[in-house]
Amino acid sequence: MRINPKAPDVRKMRLSTSLSQTDFWKPLGVSQSGGSRYELEPKRIPLCIQLLLTIAYGEERDGRAVVNNLRGVWTAD
């Protein structure tokens, strides 16, 4: 599972959806300007946003794996 996209990959991901920056980033709680920075600057995206990207726009199996891993953290023994 790939949960560490870097800026060029995220831009490619957005372009493949045919969504504007505003429409792509809004469901993740990221402003258009914040999303633009993630797409253009060669910096790492925070893990919480990486996970949301995977759940929202990644492969179905990867999104399910992220959710299952998150739920596992809260599973009672």
Report the alpha-carbon distance of residue 65 to residue 70 in Å, rounded: 9
**Residue 2 maps to a domain:** no
**Residue 13 maps to a domain:** yes
- Residue of 45, 34, 37, 36 lying closest to 6 (CA atoms): 45
**Residue 58 maps to a domain:** yes
**pLDDT for res 41:** 77
Tally of structural domains, the chain? 1
- How much of the chain, in percent, has pLDDT values that exceed 90? 45
**Residue 33 maps to a domain:** yes
Higher pLDDT: 2 or 32? It is: 32
- Give yes or no for residue 15 having a pLDDT over 90: yes
Structural domain range at position 55: 7-73
- Mean pLDDT of all residues in 14-40: 95
- Residue 62, classed as helix, strand or coil, is helix
